[in-house]
Amino acid sequence: MITLFGRAMRRVLAQCDGPIVLPLSGGRDSRHILLEMLHQGRRPDACVTFHHNGQEFNAEAQAARALCQRAGIAHDVLGHPRPRLADALRAMAMTGLCADEHAQMMPLHDYFARRDAIGFDGIAGDILTNPDDWADEFYKLAETGDYRGIALGMVEGHGKVISQPGWAQGAGPVYSPGQDDEVLDHVGRAIAQYADAPDPYQMFWMFHRTRREINFVPQAILSPARRVYTPYLDPEFARFCLSLPYRVTKDQMLHDDAIARAYPEMADIPFQDGFTEPPASSCGFAHKFRNVKAAWRVSSALSQRNRVAATLGWVRSHPQLTRAHGAVYDLHALCLDGLDAGRARDIQRLAGRLQEHAPSQLISDRLEALG
């Protein structure tokens, strides 16, 4: 794994003919990219981390800053509050209404829009090297041929993430009310086509959610970058990881072990789960006003009701735009309501206006490079 990822990075870096800005999280994927880049004698001009906790670093930003301090690399942290509804609408427009997330990454979009730099994205690094916490249960279901059971587990798991009273099945109540059986049968058949793979759940996650949803990050959200490289999608590396027996990845330590062995000089710096998460910062009046202003621009433009009623209705139902209240699904459904060519152009124009009014403050903390 160490060798093949090194080859992938060598091929990528041979094409990098300009300044490099590396989005750096507190996890494995971007850390591996950074450390291999340094190992091959290349330094990014800066690393950048976004978080949503104001001036106080969350655990992810703490882990990223510790790496940059050790390596002497400039590090920009994007921690200023954001107009969530406006970011969500902009992200949906960029992805052609084909994704229901990525609003949280709009600070990176705005950051790259103000720079002429090459970017990187760690897409697929997680699913190729570490199954998630549900993988063991799903692998056992795959062994018995219960692919519908895997589909049910995914729906219920995601439903808990964005659940609210009377809404426990994720996007189902918005897009396919009363069709749970049909949905589970459809997704179950999609998983079953990978029955001969070492891990059918991994293959489904890779070629469906990663390809159809996460891929919008390098293709759309980071599109202002000069180019965006995705080294984990290197064919040689990806084929190797997808060929591994489940017992190799089961303990979720494969990527940790590879990074620690390849770069022992950085092995003492914890990932984000080794840092203390600070209390969530409370939103001040100015931030709440920005959210109300975004609701005025977005919901009133998309709704058939009068502007005041549409705005008040949205704010009353969604005091904060969070996954926990399923607000992203409501916004997506509102965009789809009566969608035709004219409405699609209206959404694009609205997204353009929101782009013009994007927050001017991005960098909340900066570490200068050494030397």
Confidence label for 337 from pLDDT (cuts 50, 70 and 90): confident
Residue 161 scores a pLDDT above 70: no
Residue range 235-293, pLDDT digits in tens:
999 999 999 999 999 999 999 999 999 999 999 999 999 999 988 766 565 656 666 66
Measured distance CA(71)–CA(161) in Å, rounded: 36
Cα–Cα separations (whole angstroms), residue 247 to 13, 139, 151, 176: 33, 10, 22, 36
The model carries a pTM of: 0.91
pLDDT value of position 165? 55
Domains of the chain by start residue, with CATH: 2-129+205-268 (3.40.50.620), 146-194 (no CATH), 285-356 (no CATH)
- Quote the Cα angle for 49-52-55, to 5°: 80
Q: First-to-last CA distance in the chain?
A: 33
Residue 74 — φ and ψ, nearest 5°?
Answer: -60, 140
Measured distance CA(8)–CA(117) in Å, rounded: 20
Confidence label for 328 from pLDDT (cuts 50, 70 and 90): confident
Averaged confidence pLDDT in the chain: 88
Residue range 92-110, pLDDT digits in tens:
999 999 988 899 999 999 9
Furthest CA-CA distance within the chain? 62
Q: Find, among 291, 289, 304, 302, the residue nearest to 350 by Cα.
A: 302
Average pLDDT over residues 205-225: 95
For 279, the token pair is 């209390």
Percent of the chain with pLDDT over 70: 85
> Could you say which DSSP state residue 364 is in?
S
Confidence label for 67 from pLDDT (cuts 50, 70 and 90): very high
Average pLDDT over residues 108-130: 95
Residue 166 scores a pLDDT above 60: no
Q: In what order do the strands lie in the sheet with 365-367?
A: 228-229, 118-120, 20-23, 46-50, 75-78, 365-367
Q: Find, among 85, 152, 22, the residue nearest to 292 by Cα.
A: 85
Secondary structure class of 43 (helix, strand, coil): coil
pLDDT value of position 287? 57
